[in-house]
């Protein structure tokens, strides 16, 4: 990993496009990074490999550019499995409730929007293989040790936001009215989305080898059982 002294602001930045596949025609996340030497500089004459250190988001938090990128990923996913279809349904509900003028509809839209944001951030956090393209490479190449700093930074941003959103969403779901059939169905839909995130996070974490410390642990708490009891 590049040290702080290697990430000096006097190093020039360059644009980089991040993909979730090697298809450069698909949705991409545009960042700015700094080229840094990865190997030790204490051995003169040794060829240094070039890596990339994260420089900045266009948005201060990064969430505002991660969210639309992952929504595009959801909507262009051609698989018809249960989980991708649930994600598309979540996007549909968010868009359908966006123009609601009723207080209940506005409250539902706010809750759905937060859950979609959490889902998008989780998809970034859990992405097993990302690809990068700069002007130095004519095609998208898989993330390797050169991109480790970028991937760790993206996962940290996602994990921090997920932790904040999770606690906010759980409190709102518990207080969400379920007097009508539609409200009850929507409440269970929201819970199912959280179940998917929890289950997939556990599967992903448990599937990592003990020596793989690159994956940041998911900071959430498995407290959905209490929410279920209240339904």
* 109-124 residue pLDDT tens: 899 999 999 999 999 9
> Comparing 166 with 41, which gets the higher pLDDT?
166
Residue 90's pLDDT is what?
95
Range of the domain at 13: 4-207
Domain assignment of residue 217, yes or no: no
Q: Lowest-pLDDT range, 10-19, 35-44, 156-165, 175-184? A: 35-44
Q: Is a pLDDT exceeding 70 seen at residue 56?
A: no
| DSSP-assigned letters across all residues of the chain | ---GGGG-TTSPPEEEEEESSS-TTS--EEEEEEEEE-S-TTSTTPPPPEEEEEEE-SSSSSHHHHHHHHHHHHHH----SHHHHHHHHHHHHHHHHTT--SHHHHHHHHHHHHHHHHHHHHHHHT-S--EEE-TT-SS-EE--GGGHHHHHHHHHHHHHHHHHHHHHHHHHHHTS--SSHHHHHHHHHHHHHHHHHHHHHHHHHHHS-TT---SPPP-----HHHHHHT-
Q: How many domains does the chain have?
A: 1
Domain assignment of residue 220, yes or no: no
Per residue in 178-231, pLDDT (tens digit) is 888 888 899 899 998 998 888 888 888 777 654 454 444 444 443 333 333 333
Q: Is a pLDDT exceeding 60 seen at residue 68?
A: yes
pTM: 0.76
Domain assignment of residue 224, yes or no: no
């Amino acid at each position: 990993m590049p040290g702080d002294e290697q990430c000096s602001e006097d190093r020039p930045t360059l644009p980089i496009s991040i993909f979730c596949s090697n298809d450069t025609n698909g949705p991409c996340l545009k960042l700015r990074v700094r080229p840094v030497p990865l190997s030790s500089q204490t051995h003169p004459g040794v060829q240094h490999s070039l890596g990339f250190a994260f420089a900045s988001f266009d948005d201060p938090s990064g969430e505002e550019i991660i969210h639309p990128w992952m929504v595009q990923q959801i909507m262009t996913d051609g698989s018809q499995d249960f989980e991708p279809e649930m994600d598309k349904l979540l996007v549909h509900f968010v868009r359908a409730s966006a123009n609601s003028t009723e207080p209940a509809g506005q409250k539902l839209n706010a809750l759905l929007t937060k859950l979609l944001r959490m889902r998008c951030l989780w998809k970034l956090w859990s992405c097993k293989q990302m690809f990068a393209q700069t002007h130095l490479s004519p095609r998208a190449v898989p993330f390797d040790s050169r991109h480790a700093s970028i991937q760790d930074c993206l996962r940290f941003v996602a994990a921090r936001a997920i932790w904040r959103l999770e606690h906010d969403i759980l409190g709102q779901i518990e207080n969400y009215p379920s007097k009508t059939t539609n409200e009850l169905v929507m409440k269970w839909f929201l819970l199912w989305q959280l179940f998917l995130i929890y289950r997939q996070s556990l599967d992903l974490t448990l599937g990592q080898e003990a020596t793989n410390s690159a994956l940041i642990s998911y900071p959430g708490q498995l407290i959905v059982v209490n929410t279920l009891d209240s339904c």
